Amino acid sequence: MSASTLRAAGMVTLVVAALLGSAYALGRSLVPDHPDRGAGVAASIHTPHYGDQPPSTEFPGPPGGGYGGPSPDASPSASDDARQPDDSEGPYGARTSTGSTRIALTFDDGPDPQWTPQVLALLKEYGVKATFCIVGENAESHPDLVRSIVADGHTICNHSWNHDISLGKRSPAAIRDDLLRTNDAIRAAAPDARIAYFRQPGGAWTYQVVSTCEDLGMTPLHWAVDPTDWQVPGAAKITQTVLAETRPGSIVLMHDAGGDRSGTVEALQRLLPELMHRFQLEALPTGTT
């Protein structure tokens, strides 16, 4: 091969390499960076930031998404497969509907001394009863707020001792101890409280946690509408999502603790009159005991 031919081949190789490098750089520039999930603004450095915790990716999650969604690599155990629901149910048969045309507003992670009183005041102003999913250590810290929730006629739901997203992966005995400790804290504040429901933090349901809460006489409570107010998207976005997605029978998920809930409170001011115009609102029933 002549020297001129070798030089020509070398030039072609350099040109091809340059073109490939340019194409790679262009492709990288067109791929957006992965943003950090919004953690929300803490109401106080002394307030537990349960709502700021990222959703679980290790548990089978609710049909259609919501936080606590499944990991692409998740591999449920045989016992998990046996309890997988159909599309009309929540994860592992957890409740997602009121069972009637009425809708239920639910508030997680409290009570919180800043946000819970504001939520209670708005609900009282409109004569609406709701369901509060209470964290045990918050009940222990703010028993007066637990008493206010019960006195106003709202339904109580157990939301674990300290919002442990991984609770469902623990042993049945550990899950049972956590739920009983939370119930004890609630009843220490309000002895007559009826605790008929349990909501797993992060929606990270497992067979073990569903089975244990049912053994303790509590119904596993999920949701149908999640405006992701825990990500602090602003009142307008929260309002838009709830109004767009709420249907007869919907259980709506919101938060009265765990971070800055000013957007939730502002959204509630807009939502309550509009929801009352469209639906009847109820606190989930607790039975007769």
- Tens of pLDDT along 186-226? 999 999 999 999 999 999 999 999 999 999 999 999 999 99
Q: In the sheet where 104-108 sits, what is the strand order?
A: 219-220, 195-198, 155-158, 131-134, 104-108, 251-255
pLDDT of the residue at 20: 52
Our answer to whether residue 255 is catalytic in this structure is: yes
More confident residue, 94 or 38: 94
Interval 278-283 mean pLDDT? 96
pTM of the model: 0.76
**Position 232 confidence tier, pLDDT thresholds 50, 70, 90:** very high
Interval 52-57 mean pLDDT? 52
Our answer to whether residue 73 is catalytic in this structure is: no
- Strand-pair partners of 252: 105, 225
Q: Does pLDDT of 22 surpass 90?
A: no
Cβ contact 61:70 at 8 Å = yes
Cβ contact 105:127 at 8 Å = no
**Position 51 confidence tier, pLDDT thresholds 50, 70, 90:** low
- Strand-pair partners of 106: 131, 253
Cβ contact 105:154 at 8 Å = no
Catalytic hit among 49, 52, 80, 108: 108
Q: Does pLDDT of 167 surpass 80?
A: yes
Catalytic hit among 52, 229, 255, 260: 255
Q: Does pLDDT of 66 surpass 60?
A: no
For the chain, give the mean pLDDT. Answer: 81
Cα–Cα distance, 266 to 167 (Å, whole number): 32
Cβ contact 104:238 at 8 Å = no
Torsion of CA 180, 218, 92, 256, to 10 degrees: -80
